[in-house]
Structures are given as C-alpha cells and as structure tokens.
Amino acid sequence: MADILNAFMTQLMGGRATVEDNRVVLLNTGFCLVMRASMTLGIPWEWLDTNAAWPVLEGVVSTIRPDIRQTIQSTRSRGDKACIHIYEIGR
C-alpha cells in the first residue's frame, strides 16, 4: 500500500508513505497541488481537501484493501505544518 501511495504522490506533489507497525503513514510538507488549485480557482483549500483530495487518496488505497480506513492526523489547509494521513485496516 505504501508503494502505491508513493507512486501516486510522486506524480502529483511529493510526500512519502512509510509503514509503521500495522499502518501506513503518508507525510507531506512539500508542494501541494490542492493548495495551488485552491488559489487558482478561488475555492477554499479545506473544502477541496475534504471533498476531493482525501476521498481520492482513500480510493487509491481502497483498490488494494477495500476495508482500509483513512484518518487525517494533521493538514496544512487547517494551519498545521504537515499533512499526515494514516491508513489502517478496518476493524
């Protein structure tokens, strides 16, 4: 799953997914395509994250494991220093 996320993110904006215990952690502090789209289109960044970017990322990993659960630990659209997404197998 981390390899798939890394391949996807490399094409879009960077970030790095790593395996930690029984979960995959995606960390991005670099360029953000969603932020650029927000500025260009005049759409709130957090709205684009919530309604477009996060569902796309969850969809990418769910092709491997449909029971995956995504949680957002931090996000730059809300003022955090990094976007941190956690992917775990649903329980």
Which residues constitute the domain of residue 12? 2-89
CA 44 to chain centre: 17
The domain total for the chain is 1
Q: Which residues contact 26 (CB under 8 A, 6 or more apart)?
A: 5, 9, 15, 16, 17, 57, 83, 84, 85, 86, 87
At 91 the pLDDT is: 58
At 89 the pLDDT is: 83
Predicted confidence (pLDDT) at residue 85 exceeds the cutoff of 90: yes
pLDDT, tens digit (0-9, with 9 covering 90-100), for 28-69: 888 788 888 999 999 999 999 999 989 988 898 888 889 989
User: What's the pTM?
Assistant: 0.80
Predicted confidence (pLDDT) at residue 75 exceeds the cutoff of 80: yes
At 5 the pLDDT is: 73
